Amino acid sequence: MSGPDDSDTKPGRATWIAVAVAVAIVVLLIVLVARFWTGLGDTGMSEGGWVALVLGVLATLALGIGLMALVFISNKRGYDDPGGDGR
């Protein structure tokens, strides 16, 4: 749980280093995937493939956003807190 002094805290140096490392890893992975993808040769995708890709990405994002919203709502309303009888 957060205390009254948590609202004024700023991310520390270790947090920024962790974020920088995570961003660097993501960028490195994107570059590697792009290089391997172009090395495959003729890798065209049909219109149906693009539609399926876009629909899959949108459905995955909607599911992830919806589930995270439920987690935050559940936490805010106290559904995750233990009951009074220890259940």
Distance separating alpha carbons of residues 32 and 47, to the nearest angstrom: 25
Query: Is there a domain that residue 2 lies in?
Result: no
Query: Is there a domain that residue 1 lies in?
Result: no
Asked whether residue 55 falls in the same domain as residue 85, the answer is yes
Query: Is there a domain that residue 39 lies in?
Result: yes
pLDDT tens-digit readout, 20-69: 999 999 999 989 988 887 777 777 778 898 899 899 999 999 999 999 99
Asked whether residue 39 falls in the same domain as residue 49, the answer is no
The pLDDT of residue 82 is 79
Domain count, the chain: 2
Task: Please name the residues in contact with 80: beta carbons below 8 A apart, sequence gap of 6 or more.
Answer: 74
The range of the structural domain enclosing residue 11 comes to 7-44
Asked whether residue 51 falls in the same domain as residue 83, the answer is yes
Higher pLDDT pick, 8 / 2? 8
Distance separating alpha carbons of residues 52 and 49, to the nearest angstrom: 5
Asked whether residue 65 falls in the same domain as residue 77, the answer is yes
